[in-house]
Amino acid sequence: MERILVTGGAGYIGTHLVRQLLSQGHFVRVLDNGTFGLSGLRPFYGLNRFEMQKGDIQITAHLRKSISTIDKIIHLAGIVGNPACSFDKDFCHEVNVVATRRIFDEAARGNVKNIVFASSCSVYGYGDDIFTEDSRLNPVDYYSETKVKGEAIAQAYKDDLVVTLCRFSTVFGAFTENAI
Average pLDDT over residues 130-139: 89
pLDDT band of 112, cuts 50, 70, 90 = very high
Average pLDDT score, the chain: 92
Topology of domain 3-168 in CATH is Rossmann fold (3.40.50)
Catalogue the active-site residues: 143
What is the model's pLDDT at position 133? Answer: 87
pLDDT score of 172 more than 90: no
pTM of the complete model: 0.93
Cα 40 from Cα 18, distance rounded (Å): 10
Tens digit of pLDDT for each residue in 22-81? 999 999 999 999 988 899 999 999 999 999 999 999 999 999 999 999 999 999 999 988
Rounded Cα distance, 93 and 14, in Å: 21
Predicted local confidence at residue 179, as pLDDT: 46
**Would you put residue 61 in left (φ > 0), alpha (ψ -120 to 50) or beta?**
alpha
Domain boundaries, the chain: 3-168
Task: Tell me the average pLDDT across 159-165.
Answer: 95
